[in-house]
Amino acid sequence: MSDATAKKEERRKFQAIRGTRDLLPPETALWNRVEQTAHEVFATFGYGEIRPPIFEPTELFARAVGGETDIVSKEMYSFEDRDDSSISLRPEATASVCRAYIEHGMQILPQPVKLYYTGPMFRRERPQKGRYRQFYQIGAEVLGGTDAPAIDAEVIEMLMTYFDKVGLHGATLYINSIGHNAENCRRGYVAQLKAALEKVKDQLGPDSQRRIDTNPLRVLDSKLESEQAIIATLPHIADHLCDDCKAHYAAVKRQLEIRGVLYEENWRLVRGLDYYMRTTFEITAPGLGSQNAVCGGGRYDGLVELLGGPPTKGIGFAIGEDRLILSLQESGKGQAQQGRDVYIAWMGEHAYAAAIRAAKDLRNAGFSVELPPVEQKFGKALGQADKLGAKYALILGDNEVSEALWTLKTLSTGEQQKLPEPELIDYLKRQQ
Ligand code: AMP
C-alpha cells in the first residue's frame, strides 16, 4: 500500500452498513413511547415479556421457518462459530419463543402461556422505504391450551387495541383461514390450485412459475401487476375447507364481531408452511407505499412439535415497528416531544451553587433541565434556551440569590415572574 493510499484509508469515513441505520433523538422518544404502550397494553391481556438471544443455531430457523423459504435460503446472516457450529442472526422470533417454551418446560405452567417480545431482526433483503436489513418487531405468541376461536379473536383484539392506543389510524385488518394440512382440507385445495396454475403457467412470471412446484400457495401472495387478473380466477381456499376448519373460521369471525373488531376477508392471505393452519391475518397501515403491511400473524399448531416439543397449540403475530413508526410520522401522530422543560441561565458564583441545587430538585421532580457548564451572558443563555426548545428559562443572577426570589421566564410568551425558591416546583407542576 502506498503512503497516499494508507493516509486515505486512515481518513475513511465509516458509515452504517447498507440496510441498517441509527435511530436518533428526537425520533427515539417515539420508539420508546411505542414500546412502552406495548408493555402496558399486552400486560393488561396477561402477557409476560420474553427476551430471547439475538443469535441461535442456524438449524432452528431452517426447521421452524423452512429451509426452502427466501428468509432462510437467501436472507439469513449466518456464520461459522469457532467450534464450527453454524449460527444465524435471528430473522424472526417465533422460532426462539417456541424453542424457549420447550427448553424451559413451560408446558407444565398454567396454559396457555402468553409471551411477547420486542427487538431487532435481521434479513438480507433489498433495502427500500419500510424495508431494512436490521429492523424491529414487536410480537406476541400464545402457546399451549386449546385452539378455541376466542383465543384467535382475543389476540387480534389485543393488536387492534394496541394500534388504537398508540394512535395508528386507518389500519385495516385482513383475515383468512388456510385450513389444515389434510387431504379433505388444505392438501386437497393445494392439489387443485396446482392444477389450475399449470394451466396458466405461460402467463406467470418466473418466480410464480417456480413456486407452482415448490410452494403453490405463495403464488397467491404475488404483488406482480401482470399476474393479478390471472390470480383472481384461481380457486378459493374457503370453498375447500373441511367442516371443522370452516366452523372454526366462522367462530373466529363471530368472536371478532362480539368484540367490535372490524375486519375484511382476504382469501389470498396465506402462509406457505405446513404447520401454519386456520387463522391468518395481516394489518396494513396508510402512508407506507408498497411495503404497507405493518403486522402479520397466524395460527401454527404444529410448530412446537416440529421443534421437538409436545403437541402444542400456538398462535402469534409480529408487528413491524419501523413501519408502525413511519406510519405514525406520516399521519402527524409521531411528534416526539423535544426540548427541555427548564433552561437554567445562571451568572455568578453564588448563583451557580443555587443553580446546581435547582437542577437537582427539578430533575427529582421529573422535569428535564439543562444546566450550562460554564457561565454565559444572559442574552446568549436565552438564545441557547430557545434553540433547545426549552419551555422556561430560570434566571439566576446574584440579585435573585440575595433576594431569594428567582425569575422564571416563559419562553413562548416572554412573560416573567418572580418566585421564592420553595414555590418553583409547585408552580411548574400546576402549569403542566
Ligand atoms: P413476517 O415476520 O415476515 O411475518 O413480518 C411481520 C412484519 O414485520 C411485517 O408485516 C413487516 O411490518 C415487518 N417486516 C418484515 N420484514 C421487514 C423488513 N425487512 N424491514 C422492515 N420491516 C419488516
Which tens digit of pLDDT belongs to each residue from 283-314?
999 888 888 999 999 999 999 999 999 999 99
Give the range among 45-59, 249-263, 347-361 with minimum mean pLDDT: 347-361
- Per-residue pLDDT, averaged over 147-169, amounts to 97
What pLDDT score was predicted for residue 2?
Answer: 66
Tell me the C-alpha distance between 376 and 372, whole Å. 8
Question: Which of 18, 295, 317, when mutated, tests ligand 1's pocket best, judged by the most ligand atoms within 8 Å of its CB?
Answer: 295
Query: For residue 4, how many other CB atoms are within 10 A of its CB?
Result: 8
What pLDDT score was predicted for residue 9?
Answer: 66
Q: Distance, CA 130 to ligand 1 centroid (Å)?
A: 9
What pLDDT score was predicted for residue 388?
Answer: 93
CB of 271 closer than 6 angstroms to any ligand 1 atom: no
Give the range among 344-348, 374-378, 393-397, 398-402 with minimum mean pLDDT: 398-402
Q: Distance, CA 295 to ligand 1 centroid (Å)?
A: 7
CA trace torsion 382, 387, 392, 398 (10° rounding): -30
- Tell whether the torsion through CA atoms of 372, 375, 381 and 387 is positive or negative: negative
What pLDDT score was predicted for residue 272?
Answer: 66
- Per-residue pLDDT, averaged over 38-48, amounts to 97
Closest atom, ligand 1, to C-alpha of 132: 20
What pLDDT score was predicted for residue 6?
Answer: 67
- Per-residue pLDDT, averaged over 39-66, amounts to 96
Nearest CA to ligand 1 atom 7: 320
CB of 221 closer than 6 angstroms to any ligand 1 atom: no
Nearest CA to ligand 1 atom 11: 320
Question: What region does 27 belong to: left with phi over 0, alpha with psi -120 to 50, or beta?
Answer: alpha
What pLDDT score was predicted for residue 288?
Answer: 87
Percent of the chain with pLDDT over 70: 97
What pLDDT score was predicted for residue 333?
Answer: 76
What pLDDT score was predicted for residue 57?
Answer: 97
- Per-residue pLDDT, averaged over 197-221, amounts to 91
What are the pLDDT digits (tens) for 78-111? Answer: 999 999 999 999 999 999 999 999 999 999 999 9
- pLDDT level of residue 356 (50, 70, 90 thresholds): very high
What pLDDT score was predicted for residue 398?
Answer: 87
CB of 321 closer than 6 angstroms to any ligand 1 atom: no
What are the pLDDT digits (tens) for 306-328? Answer: 999 999 999 999 999 999 999 99
What pLDDT score was predicted for residue 287?
Answer: 87
Question: What region does 19 belong to: left with phi over 0, alpha with psi -120 to 50, or beta?
Answer: left
CB of 137 closer than 6 angstroms to any ligand 1 atom: yes
Q: Distance, CA 135 to ligand 1 centroid (Å)?
A: 8
CB of 138 closer than 6 angstroms to any ligand 1 atom: no
CB of 125 closer than 6 angstroms to any ligand 1 atom: yes
Tell me the C-alpha distance between 91 and 71, whole Å. 7
Question: Which of 18, 70, 71, 121, when mutated, tests ligand 1's pocket best, judged by the most ligand atoms within 8 Å of its CB?
Answer: 121
Closest atom, ligand 1, to C-alpha of 71: 3
Cα 50–chain centre separation:
15
Which phi and psi angles does 10 have, rounded to 5°? -60, -35
pLDDT, averaged across the chain: 93
Q: Distance, CA 113 to ligand 1 centroid (Å)?
A: 24
DSSP string across 231-297: HTTSPPGGGG--HHHHHHHHHHHHHHHHTT---EE-TT----STT-EEEEEEEE-TT-TT--EEEEE
Question: Which of 276, 282, 323, when mutated, tests ligand 1's pocket best, judged by the most ligand atoms within 8 Å of its CB?
Answer: 323
Give the range among 172-186, 269-283, 375-389, 399-413 with minimum mean pLDDT: 269-283
What pLDDT score was predicted for residue 177?
Answer: 97
What are the pLDDT digits (tens) for 11-26? Answer: 779 999 999 999 999 9
Nearest CA to ligand 1 atom 10: 295
Checking if the pLDDT of 1 tops 70, the result is: no
For 135, the grid coordinates are: 429492523
Question: Which residue in the block uniquely carries the three cell numbers 475513511?
Answer: 12
Nearest CA to ligand 1 atom 4: 296
Which tops the pLDDT comparison, 190 or 291? 190
Checking if the pLDDT of 253 tops 70, the result is: yes
What pLDDT score was predicted for residue 291?
Answer: 83
Percent of the chain with pLDDT over 90: 83
Question: Which of 34, 122, 137, when mutated, tests ligand 1's pocket best, judged by the most ligand atoms within 8 Å of its CB?
Answer: 137
What pLDDT score was predicted for residue 336?
Answer: 64
Nearest CA to ligand 1 atom 21: 131
* Segment holding 10, helix H or strand E: helix 3-11
Distances (CA, A) of 321 to 31, 291, 398, 415: 8, 13, 50, 41
What pLDDT score was predicted for residue 334?
Answer: 72
